Chains A and B, each alone.
Chain A
Amino acid sequence: MLTSEHVIVEYKDGRARPDRLERKRHAHYAACAEQMLAIYRTGIGRQRRALHRDVETLFAKEPDCPLRRTRAFAKLLDDASTYQTDPKGEASRLRLRVFEAAAPLHPLVRRKDRLFEHAEAETKAAIAADVGLEWDEIDARLYADVMAFQQLECFQGYPNAVALLSRYNVAQLQACLYAAERVTVRATQDFKTILRYAKLARLLHEIRRVGPSEYVIEFSGPASVLRGTRRYGVAFARFLPALLACKGWRMTAVVRTPWRARAVLELSDQDRYTSALPPPEEFDSGVEERFARKFGQQREGWRLERESEVLADGQTIFVPDFVFRHDDGTTVLFEIVGFWTPEYLANKRETLRRFPDQGILVAVPERSLREGAEPGAGVIVYKTAIKVEPVLAALEAVRGSRSP
């Protein structure tokens, strides 16, 4: 990740536009990216400072390239590198030894005279002889543990130039979000992934349904109700790759500008950023997938949708596996309980109990039922696969009970 010293954001008319390299306008960056990768690939054993200087030189004549962009590239390349770190503190020991040897001879003067008889060059040579190295070598090792002088040990790198440029674009987006106070996502699918990753980033949400399978989700943190705070900026940045991997969303973030004003960052799945994460799995289990294929998109007036509605009770959310919509407007939620652990089942039971008024149809595997348990209405028991007929029958029963 970048730090705030690499951020490039243009604030204009209340909008925040993070720096982005575009395929057309920045076509020549592909070659630069190749060269940068080459600098690091062939740079094993070189100092961090030298590598950074080479990267900077690469862009020196570039008409449109702020220093921050160059440094951001160096940071991203460093992130995929391992440098020698001197864990045993050899440089530190060498320093103390040399400085203590020189202390009684202080000051080391350029030319000795009657008052000060320790000349710089002679003293250094004497200390070098004592340590058993050439002075030049000592001089090189003396501060070898300082970040800028560390040597590149290995470069994990990026698969190719395009990957580095994509990473750069997403990294600038994330860096812009460090200054975000709140993030609002308007989504039409992949709710589960969006909400799960937001929870992993320890964000709180507020969900509003704005239409059939369309929700506005506002993300922030606990203290956000008390004051605008950038405390959760890193959490937004961490959450972003998951959002970028999803489809059917628009995002608005309120960010603080360096001049303590506010600006808005807008983003959607149409902006074609490349996430480092894979897109969400279409199905959670084989049982679901087989059922969806068997049922088809539409059957006897019922349309089948996958995870298209969200139930929320405070910070607990529940996204049933399927939603059936009948042509007459009847909507039925359908949740498939899979073959999992007792904890999973207890969890599912608790969730379903939280939303008692939703008339959720539940499919339960036979072997998870307790001996002699009588499944109630709205429960479909299945062995290995869910059949279409009992589901249709149950749907019609619901439709019958709801119609006047």
Chain B
Amino acid sequence: MRPDADNAVRLRFDRGTLLLQGVPRNRARALPAPELWEWDGRVRAWRADAMHYAAIRQIPDERWAGAWRDEVPGPPPVHWPKVDLPPLRPEQEEALTAWRAAGRGGQVIMPTGTGKTEVALAAMAETGAATLVVAPIRDLMYQWHRRILSRLGYDAGIVGDNLYNLQPVTVTTYDSAYIHMDRIGDRFGLIVFDEEHHLPGPCRREAALMCTAPGRLGLSATPERSDGRHADLDHLVGPVVYAMPLARARGRTLADYDVVRVPVALTQTEQAAYDACSRQVRHYMAAQRRERPGYSWRDLCSESGADPAARRAQKAYYLKKSIEDRAAEKLRVLEDLFRLHVGQRIIVFAGSNVMAMEVSRRFLVPTILSHTRKRERSAVLDGFSEGRLPVIVANRVLDEGVDVPAAKVAVVIGGQASTRQAKQRLGRILRRTGNMRATLYEVVCEATREVERSRARRRSDAYERTRHRRV
């Protein structure tokens, strides 16, 4: 049973890592690619990240000092029952060729609505290996499932949303991939990271590190992260092999669009409450700063536990935000917009679940929220795309990648000012259908922080060269 006694050198997949047994610690120099390995005294073997499997396999046999056995299970080949891919557009073809030329590893950056999914499906079709597709949220996971079924004729397994059905081709979410990868990381020949900017987080990156798949494809419209970690994608997925600027997409594949800002005033009672809250927060901060220059909001949050006054200021701040979020006037403006665009499909983005449900109960229009189950979700999305349901209300769930067919009008009535969110939201309404211009309305409370957020949003690349008007 003593591992060193048995001279056979064995490479195994062990809970998300590669384990090399049979090479004693003092023979580190006999290891090929010694920089990849760490000695693990607990099991008396060498360990490496599963991600390096492809690199290790490429090492010629003679560099191994003697015979060795690879016991990492090879992923099964996959035969697609019925491939029905539309012909790729030139830029999609370029992307696929570049990825192939890079040895089937790397990132493809294309704006929302330009058919990243088709590129990935074509890559899957030609690779013909067991594939794991990782998507940020379960809506997208189900969407991938539907796409794989309709384009490749394959009924993929699902891991996530309380389901665990592992198949040679499986779709999952980043959170589930992180949790399960130490068990399933040796099953795939290709791994696809959709909206790959979700990958470099300190935990989620393990979905890439713990997987042996030699083929890797990262997809995103906006790989940049505010923390700068997108640089790690080169290591986790591979280099950027193709990047298409948004400008090239606009007008060709994407519709032109207008951004319209609709200011609303708070009601008298709301304004009074809002001002009182603002004053409370301002006074508290000012008082603290007199004593302690550089006192920040973070200090306040960390003190709110021990200090009821800080806690009251914190509560006032949250109340202020909720007044903004749920201003009664927004519902009235919404009615006006619904009147204006009667007969057109409209997506409303709310800043919170509560506001989304308020809109839903006022106008009797369906919501898509994070807890909406699969069946209701498809019923609502189908009803919307067939024109039976004129409006859907969403919170952040529809922010990314979820296909919402041919909506031409979107209304944002709350949300944070982040560049990516803005781009993704635009992506929703910009899918090409006919020549009609798309319109994005931003309903913001006047004289509040929301106005600033709206300005910050508009500074982003996505809003450049769009027309702005006021209603």
> Taking beta carbons and an 8 Å cutoff, which residues of A are in contact with B?
8, 61-69, 89, 92, 95-96, 98-103, 106-110, 115-116, 120, 123-124, 127, 139, 142-143, 145-147, 204-206, 221-223, 225-226, 229-231, 260, 313-315, 354
Contact present for B391 and A226 (CB under 8 Å): no
Q: Are A314 and B363 also in contact (CB < 8 A) when A61-B308, A66-B304 are?
A: no
Q: Which of B44, B342, B365, B376 contacts A102 (CB 8 A)?
A: B365
- The answer on a CB contact under 8 Å between A95 and B38 is no
Please determine whether A92 and B376 come into contact, CB atoms closer than 8 angstroms.
yes
Encode contact with A along B298-341: 1 for CB under 8 Å, 0 otherwise: 00000011111001001000000000000000001001001100
Shortest beta-carbon contacts, A-B, top 8: A66-B305, A102-B364, A107-B338, A222-B15, A92-B376, A106-B390, A99-B366, A225-B40
- From the candidates A99, A106, A225, A231, name the one contacting B342 in the complex (CB within 8 A): A106
Q: Taking the nearest CB of chain B, how far is it from the CB of A259, in angstroms?
A: 10
B400 within 8 Å of A (CB atoms): no
**What is the 8 Å Cβ interface bit string for chain B, positions 205-223, against chain A (1 contact, 0 not)?**
0100110000000000000
Verify A99–B371 contact, CB threshold 8 A: no
Q: Is B455 an interface residue (CB 8 A)?
A: no
A8 to B306, CA, bound (A): 12
Q: How far apart are A52's CB and chain B's nearest CB, in angstroms? A: 14
Residues of chain B contacted by A225 (CB below 8 angstroms): 38-40, 42, 47
Most buried by B among A89, A127, A229: A229
Instruction: Please indicate the chain B residues that have their CB under 8 angstroms from the CB of A65 in the complex.
Output: 305
CB distance from B135 to the nearest CB of A (A): 21
Tell me if B305 and A68 are in contact (CB < 8 A).
Answer: yes
Question: Given known contacts A139-B361, A146-B357, A225-B40, is B335 in contact with A107 (CB within 8 Å)?
Answer: yes
- Contact (A230, B305) CB under 8 Å given A100-B388, A206-B41: no
| Docked CA distance A57–B202 (Å) | 36
Measured CB to CB, the closest approach of chain A to B425, in angstroms, equals: 22
Q: Smallest distance from the beta carbon of B322 to chain A beta carbons, Å?
A: 14
The 8 Å CB contact of B339, one of A66, A96, A109, A206, is A109
Total A-B residue contacts, Cβ distance less than 8 Å: 138
Assembled-state Cα–Cα distance A127/B363 (Å): 13
Known: A107-B338, A222-B16. A69 touches B371 (CB 8 A): no
Tell me how far the C-beta of A180 lies from the nearest C-beta in chain B, rounded to whole angstroms: 13
List residues of chain B with CB within 8 A of the CB of A313: 1
Kindly state the separation between the CA atoms of A206 and B41 in the bound complex, as whole angstroms: 8
* B107 close to chain A: CB less than 8 A: no
Are B49 and A226 in touch, CB under 8 angstroms?
Answer: yes
B44 touches which of A95, A223, A314 (Cβ 8 Å) = A314
Q: Are B305 and A123 in contact (CB under 8 A)?
A: no
B38, B44, B365, B373: the one contacting A99 at CB < 8 Å is B365
Least Cβ distance of B179 to chain A in Å? Answer: 9
Contacts of B247 in A (CB 8 A): none
Whole-angstrom CA separation of A89 from B373 in the bound complex: 9
The answer to whether B443 has its CB under 8 Å from any CB of chain A is: no
A95-B366, A206-B41 are known contacts. Are A354 and B339 too (CB-CB below 8 A)? no
- Least CB distance, B255 to chain A, in whole angstroms: 23
Contact of B366 with A115 in the complex, beta carbons under 8 Å: no
Q: How far is the CA of A96 from the CA of B384 in the complex (A)?
A: 12
Given known contacts A99-B366, A143-B357, what 6 new A-B pairs fall within 8 Å (CB)?
A62-B308, A63-B306, A107-B338, A145-B371, A225-B42, A226-B47
- In the complex, the chain A residue whose C-beta lies closest to that of B45 is A314
Contact (Cβ within 8 A) B375 A231: no
Q: A103, A116, A146, A315: which contacts B388 (Cβ < 8 A)? A: A103
How far, in Å, is A224 (CB) from chain B's closest CB? 9
**How far in angstroms is the closest Cβ of chain A from B460?**
27
Given contacts A89-B375, A89-B376, A354-B1, contact A106 B391 (CB under 8 A): yes
- Which A residues are CB-close (under 8 A) to B373? 89, 92
In angstroms, Cα B203 to Cα A61, docked, is 38
Supposing A231-B203, A314-B42 touch, asked if A110 and B335 sit within 8 A by C-beta, the answer is yes
Query: Is B16 a contact of A223 with CB atoms below 8 Å?
Result: yes
Q: How far, in angstroms, from A67 to B307 measured CA to CA in the complex?
A: 11
Interface residue? B196 (CB, 8 A): no
Point out which of A92, A99, A115 has the most chain B C-beta atoms below 10 A from its C-beta: A99
Contact A124 B14 (CB under 8 A): no
With most chain B CB atoms within 10 A of its CB, the pick from A67, A115, A226 is A226
CB distance from B470 to the nearest CB of A (A): 22
- Whether B305 contacts A69 by the Cβ 8 Å rule is yes
Partner of B203, one of A110, A139, A222, A230: A230
Known pairs A92-B375, A92-B376; A106 contacts B42 (CB<8 A)? no
Closest residue of B by beta carbon distance from A229:
B206
Q: A120-B362, A231-B203, A314-B43 are in contact. Are A146 and B376 (CB under 8 A)?
A: no
**Alpha-carbon distance between A221 and B43 when the two chains are bound, in angstroms:** 11
Residues of B close to A315: CB separation below 8 A: 42-43
Rounded to whole Å, the gap between the CB of A4 and the closest CB of chain B is 11
Task: Tell me which of B311, B335, B391 contacts A109 (CB under 8 A).
Answer: B335
A120 to B16, CA, bound (A): 57
Among B182, B203, B364, contact of A127 (Cβ-Cβ < 8 Å):
B364
Contact partner, A106, options B17, B210, B361, B365, Cβ 8 Å: B365
The reply to whether B379 and A96 contact each other, CB–CB distance below 8 Å, is yes
Q: What is the chain A residue whose CB lies nearest that of B390?
A: A106
CB-defined contacts of B350 to chain A, threshold 8 Å: none
Residues of A within 8 A of B375 (CB): 89, 92
Residues of A within 8 A of B40 (CB): 222, 225
Residues of A within 8 A of B339 (CB): 107, 109, 115-116
Q: Report the separation of the CA atoms of residues A62 and B307 in the bound assembly, to the nearest whole angstrom.
A: 9
Q: Shortest CB–CB separation between residue B347 and chain A, in angstroms?
A: 14
> B376 to A64, Cβ gap below 8 A?
no
A selection of 16 A-B contacts at a CB cut-off of 8 Å is: A64-B305, A99-B380, A99-B389, A103-B365, A103-B383, A106-B363, A106-B391, A107-B342, A107-B390, A123-B364, A206-B41, A222-B14, A226-B49, A229-B206, A231-B16, A315-B43
- State A124–B365 Cα separation when bound (angstroms): 12
Contact status B47-A96, CB under 8 Å: no
* Chain B nearest Cβ from A324, distance in angstroms: 28
B429 at the binding interface (Cβ < 8 Å): no
> Counting CB contacts under 8 A, is B134 at the interface?
no
Cα A110 to Cα B14 in complex, Å, equals: 64
Chain A min CB distance to B161 (Å):
15
Whole-angstrom distance from the CB of B33 to the nearest CB of chain A?
14
A67-B304, A225-B47, A231-B206 given as contacts; is B357 within 8 A of A98 (CB)? no
B366 to chain A: which residues have CB within 8 Å? 95-96, 99
The answer to whether B390 and A103 touch across the interface, beta carbons within 8 angstroms, is yes
The answer, yes or no, to whether B140 is at the interface (CB within 8 Å) is no
* C-alpha spacing A139/B342, complex, angstroms: 25
Query: B48 an interface residue at 8 Å Cβ cutoff?
Result: yes
Q: Which of A61, A116, A222, A260 has the most CB of B within 10 A?
A: A222
Chain A residues contacting B38 (CB-CB under 8 Å) are 225-226
Q: A100, B389: Cβ atoms under 8 Å?
A: yes
Cross-chain contact of B17 among A69, A100, A206, A222 (Cβ < 8 A): A222
Closest to B203 in A: A230
Q: From A93, which residue of chain B is reached at the shortest CB distance? A: B376
B369: which A residues are within 8 A, CB to CB? 146
The digit string for B349-387, where 1 denotes a CB below 8 A from any CB of A, is 000010001001111111001010101100110010000
- Give bound CA distance, A217 to B335, whole Å: 66
Cβ contact within 8 Å between B363 and A107:
yes
Known: A107-B363, A116-B339. A67 touches B383 (CB 8 A): no
Contact B42 A108 (CB under 8 A): no
CA distance A116 to B343 in the complex (A): 12
- A167: min CB distance to chain B, Å: 20
Closest-by-CB residue of B relative to A107 is: B338
